[in-house]
Structure 1
């Protein structure tokens, strides 16, 4: 039975990053990415990295932004993965949290934010938002 006074990890993360969310193009060295960041705190939650597939990375970042902002519905853009979405922990260093599609094992985004507990909470929140977005 769930404790009615407990706070879910998604609620904890939402308090740290109240939104709204946006994506922006970023270049760090040779790495290119679309960063998903909270406009209120100016902190980056995840970076959708790419080498050649800029349109795919832009699309995936936009879907994550829409999902986190609660822009659901039939007209909202979707990922090219059927869902449901969950997290998976990497077993090789560096330790990362991956948001993946359970059905296909398709990779959505890696989360390497701060401590592992923070990354797990952010990954769970993104997976939950994507599941709501794709339902």
Structure 2
């Protein structure tokens, strides 16, 4: 992980670049990505969350899907096994499965304001509130 505190976006771009590095092999099988930090304190958790958020947005932008395997990081023995395969001394924070998934349903959009909201006849009008 870079030493500068403003590199969350750089970390996320590196995660996405790793996911997209081998498009031929990547097309048929999903890839596992492990998000790590140098330490395991509150600031590290925050930076990992920021990097995860950025990575998920970038993956979505590239048309990829991600599944979070946070349960694996909640068990100390599984987390230690994940750390053991890393070349550098890092703390695993999140395991992701990244790949091409089926097309999802479009996100429902909010209706225009008038059909959604109604003013109660008992509610004071804007001019009544201004007079108070």
* Greater relative contact order (Cα < 8 A, sep 6+): 2
TM-score range, shorter chain: under 0.3
TM-score, scaled to structure 2: 0.25
Larger radius of gyration between Structure 1 and Structure 2: 2
